[in-house]
Structure 1
Amino acid sequence: MGKLLVTGATGNVGRHVVSQLAEAGLEVRALVRDPGRAGLPVEMAQGDLTMPETLHPALEDVESVFLLWPAFTADGAAEVVEAIAKHARRVVYLSANAADEPGTHYHEIERLIRNSGLGWTFLRPGGFAANTLGWAGQIRQGVVRWPYGAASRPLIHEKDIAAVAVHVLTSGGHGGAAYVLTGPEQLTQAEQVRVIGEVIGREVRWEDQSPDEARDRMMAAWGDPAFVAAALRTWEGFVAVPEPVTDTVERLLGRPALTFRQWAADHAADFS
């Protein structure tokens, strides 16, 4: 097997992809902005997906790429995909379950990859359990105020996303597949908060926040009006129609997907 390049290598998913590939004894290179601060146990190449000209040295002798796009738009993605196609044979792209919706950057990047001549596999996770880390400050105070407490999703542990990525990168039969990945159980947002409280041994209440109030708060944190509007629409939709559970993780890995309670236990220190 040829060398593997991991982008987003210091993030929630990418760091696990790097460590799991390294533990398997495979030849891994991590694309990072600052090798001196990344602290990864593999070869590192300095580069930035927002500056496609920096990618060519990192792609030398690379056969497969794990691609995690760092922005809410597809600006610059065409140049990045073109650079990957000049060097590698295959890309595993961490997309999203929203990729079937035209107009999203996920949809556009998938289109670019499909037309690039690369072999490809798309990983389309639903809600990330790690997104609930945004409530950490409120959880420490004992009350989470957020909109749509009844919105229900089967949140996925980042370790499972990474494990699927590693499986796909290191085995055959995944060319042209788009895998929808979820956790094993649907929980409302209010239930997610309750589980976190139980794991850390602290009573935490949920209080529904109005969408208008939440919009102002989310704009201050995220700064992208389209992304904020899409997030609010998504949560509102999951009140009436919960996000479906898939068995993809179990089918690919031969074990059940990790539960949200397991995720909360892994991250208990982040809420304490």
Structure 2
Amino acid sequence: MGKILVTGATGNVGSHVASQLARAGLEVRAFARKPEKVQAGVEVVQGDLTVPETLEPALKDVESVFLLWPGMSTGNAGEVVSAIARHARRVVYLSAYVPGSEDAATHYGDIEHFIRTSGLGWTFLRPGGFSANTLGWAEQIKRDGVVRWPYGQASRALIHEKDIAAVAVHALTSAGHNGASYDLTGPAELTQAEQVRAIGEAIGREVRWEEQPVEEARERLLAAWGEPEFVQSALKAWESFVTHPEKATDTVERLLGRPALSFRQWAEDHAADFR
């Protein structure tokens, strides 16, 4: 098997992709803006996908690429995909595109289109909610033991980043995944209030949910994010999960031959972040 290039190699998912490939004894090269943050023992090329010329040296002798696009704009993604296609044979892309949804024209769909028309063999990973997003509650939990947030009954099947990485490694290293799009979730749906309780159990102390008025949350998010459209989209999504929960899929178990990791397992893995 040829060399595998991992972009986003210092992020929540990419770091696990790189480490899992390395532990399997495969040739892996990490592509990162901050190479000092890549785990020891992995070959690293410094660069930035938004500066395509930095990608060329990283693609030498590469057969497959794990692609994670930075940011919320397609920017020069078409140019990057073309560069990958000149060197590699396959790409596994960490997407979030939902065909037929209101966000069907977002950058995820655009990049999928670039890849589909590039001549590369491809696999798209489409995870739902990330367990790691709950790290946004860490300061409240450490300070007050309370999470004050809207839509406590919004329910999602959050996925552990290790499972996304494991599926990516499986797709990169085994046959039968070309042209496949995989919807990935955790094993069970939990409301946000239940997620908070699970974090409390993992760190050994009670953590309470306190429902925050939506307008108060909007003001707080506007101050933090500064993008009204993005804030409105996020609030609308959380509201929708109250009446239409994100359903768990069996994709992780079907591909890996083991159950997906639970949210409780994720909380135990990250307990230090909440203490």
TM-score by length of 2: 0.95
Decide which of 107, 123, 133 is 1:121's aligned counterpart: 123
- Aligned pairs (5 A) from 1:1-272: 1-96=1-96, 98=98, 100-101=100-101, 102-140=104-142, 141-272=144-275
Amino acid at match of 2:263: F
1:67 is aligned with what amino acid?
L
Shift of 1:216: 2.7
Distance 1:42 1:16, change over 3 A: same
What CA distance in whole angstroms lies between the structure 1 residues aligned with 2:176 and 2:209?
Answer: 44
Amino acid in the other structure paired with 2:244 = V
Shift of 1:110: 0.7
Name whichever of 148-157 and 224-233 sits farther off: 224-233
Shift of 1:99: 5.5
Could you tell me how far apart the structure 2 residues matched to 1:220 and 1:60 are? 44
Displacement of 1:67 in angstroms is 0.5
The code of the aligned residue for 1:77 comes to A
How far apart, CA to CA, are the structure 2 residues paired with 1:103 and 1:122? 16
Q: Indicate the SS of the match to 1:122.
A: strand
CA offset digits 1:127-158 (Å, max 9, x no partner):
00000001000111111111111100000000
Contact 1:156 1:183 in 2 (8 A): yes
Kindly provide the amino acid, as one letter, of the partner of residue 200 in structure 1.
I
**Secondary structure of 1:11's aligned partner:** coil
Query: Cα offset for 1:198?
Result: 1.2
How far has the Cα of 1:104 moved from its partner? 1.4
Q: Is the 8 A contact 1:92 1:123 kept in 2?
A: yes
RMSD across aligned positions (CA): 1.3
Shift, 1:252, TM fit:
0.2
Alignment partners' CA distance in 2, 1:100 and 1:64: 29
Deviation at 1:223, TM superposition (A): 3.8
Contact 1:19/1:41 (8 A) holds in 2: no
Q: Give distance in 2, aligned partners of 1:224 and 1:86.
A: 37
* Residues 115-135 of structure 1: CA deviation (Å, up to 9, x unaligned): 111110000000000000010
Distance in 2 between the 1:219 and 1:59 partners?
40
Aligned-pair identity (%)? 72
> C-alpha separation between the residues in 1 aligned to 2:89 and 2:226?
36
Whether contact under 8 Å (1:97, 1:126) holds in the other structure is no
The gaps in structure 1 that reach 5 residues or longer are none
Structure 2 Cα separation of the partners of residues 232 and 65 of structure 1: 34
* 2-structure distance, mates of 1:86, 1:66: 15
Cα distance change on mapping 1:168 and 1:200 into 2, 3 Å: same
Change in 2 beyond 3 A, CA 1:117/1:224: farther
Amino acid at match of 1:129: S
Secondary structure of 1:98's counterpart equals coil
SS in 2 for 1:12: coil
Q: Within 2, Cα distance between the matches of 1:183 and 1:145?
A: 24
Q: Deviation at 1:97?
A: 5.0
TM-score (norm: length of structure 1): 0.96
